[in-house]
Amino acid sequence: TMMWDFWSLNPESLHQVLILMSDRGTPHGYRHMHGFGSHTYSMINAANERVWVKFHFKSQQGIKNFNEEEAQQMKGINPDFAQEDLVNAIENGNFPKWKLFLQVMTEDQAQDFRWNPFDVTKVWFHDEFPLIEVGEMELNEIPVNYFAHVEQATFSPSNLINGISFSPDKMLQGRLFSYPDAHRYRVGANSHLLEVNRCPFTVNNYQRDGAMADSSHYKDAPNYYPNSFDGIKPDHKYANYEEDLNGTHVANFNRNENDDDHFTQPGLLYTKAMDESARQNLIKNIITSMSGISGEKRDEIINRQLCHFFRANIDLGMKIAQGLQININANMMNHSPS
């Protein structure tokens, strides 16, 4: 009752309901069913050109389904039929395969599409956006340890590589957060470091420490970006992938240059909100703390931070530099707004 109550109140699900209630809703095992990404993703090339894409896995074994009576009967005879069928096929060397296809939609086409191209309940018709074959997936190995290699697997649409990115698909954006959050609760904070989840093609990141941390990769490197001590850099080829889609923000909020003004308000805090005593104590505290900076990156770190102080307020920068006995250069004082 609740299932149909939900569907009756959500007519956008009708297309999916009709598929589910057809014989396609009772497939004859995993080998005889197609796979669809459902969500709309984006792909960005080296020239920072973006298109919208949908992923399709087509079974090379062909579609084969139970009818309702056959499915009900098999449920009682062998509720693990689908898994057993897959394992037996792989053990016998009859490796199941799926061809991977893409549908591609340009940004201009997205503006003119009859339906919302980012609505997970809508499809893109093949005659308008034909399937493009790009690869093949083959299952040829059975997990040695079911718990380690299956139960601890942490699939998520946020596990992306450079060149594949997100879209205004609202369901996708919710899953980008909720799936990893569930994995952190279910498996652990460092589940991405487990053997089954490590991917050599993913982008570098600073997610580390916490329960069952594995330091073999990052050792004593800092866990923040940017930093002065390691070579992990984001791939700036795709730096602008979050640009607006005619006013629809893909994943960010960046209206104008004032959104990136990080210095005017600190300058006003120094000149307007603080009295002279507070300013003196502020400068003293900063000088005392920065005097403890040491190591081979000392001058680089101090000079970089002084530039920030100068951009907030020249007087603030000058007094801190004098307290640290630093020679002032024009670059530090450049672009100071107050």
Q: Which pLDDT score is estimated for 77?
A: 96
Domain count of the chain?
Answer: 3
| Residue-wise DSSP of 284-319 | HHHHHHHTT--STTHHHHHHHHHHHHHHH-HHHHHH
User: For the chain, what percent of residues have pLDDT higher than 70?
Assistant: 86
190 and 99 assigned to the same domain:
no
Average pLDDT rounded to a whole number, residues 139-161:
93
How confident is the model at residue 290, as a pLDDT?
94
Question: Which residues are CB-neighbours of 80 under 8 A, at least 6 positions away?
Answer: none
Domain of 148, in residue numbers: 143-259
- Spatial distance between the Cα atoms of 276 and 282, rounded to a whole number of angstroms: 10
Helix (H, G, I), strand (E, B) or coil at 59: strand
201/134 same-domain check: no
Same-domain status, 133 and 36 = yes
The pTM score is 0.73
CA 240 vs CA 44, 212, 215, 232: distances in Å: 10, 35, 32, 19
If asked whether residues 99 and 49 sit together in one domain, one would say: yes
Q: Report d(CA 151, CA 290) in Å as an integer.
A: 48
pLDDT reading at 230 higher than 60: yes
DSSP state of 100: E
Classify residue 3: in a domain, yes or no: no
What is the per-residue pLDDT across 281-326, written as a single tens digit (0 to 9) for each?
999 999 999 999 999 999 999 999 999 999 999 999 999 999 999 9
| Residue 142 to residue 43: CA distance in whole angstroms | 32
